[in-house]
Amino acid sequence: DVQLVESGGASVQAGGSLTLACVLSEYSFRRDNICFGWFRQAPGKGREGIAAIRTGRDSTYYDSSVQGRMTISQDMAKSTMYLQMNSPKPEDSAKYYCAADLGTSDCSTKYWHQRYEYNYWGQGTQVTVS
């Protein structure tokens, strides 16, 4: 079965930096047509999409709350997608999830941040900013 496994979550101080990784495994098809997304969920809140990237084209999408502070990237030679967090804030504290829509023509410019756009999910990694 296809698996997504996140790593890199940690407790960090505000103003520091952190990079999350998401590894795609057990997927034997072409990897230049995947839309990957990063979502996060804070206690008592819904899961929100914050960034997405389409492999093959490297088109990227960001929520305004993270635009300019976080960078999504991918390296399919390593089957890995990343989220670099620069100068995180306490309000960035949440559990971060990666998600994938496999075999897509592109990330939806309108709906990339919606959970229903993705058919595979990781288990999440915790980020705490103090």
pLDDT tens, 42-101? 999 999 999 999 998 889 999 999 999 999 999 999 999 999 999 999 999 999 999 999
pLDDT at 113: 93
Helix (H, G, I), strand (E, B) or coil at 125: strand
> Residue 104 pLDDT > 90, yes or no?
no
pLDDT at 26: 86
Helix (H, G, I), strand (E, B) or coil at 110: coil
In 3-state terms the chain splits into helix, strand, coil percentages (rounded to 5) of 5, 50, 50
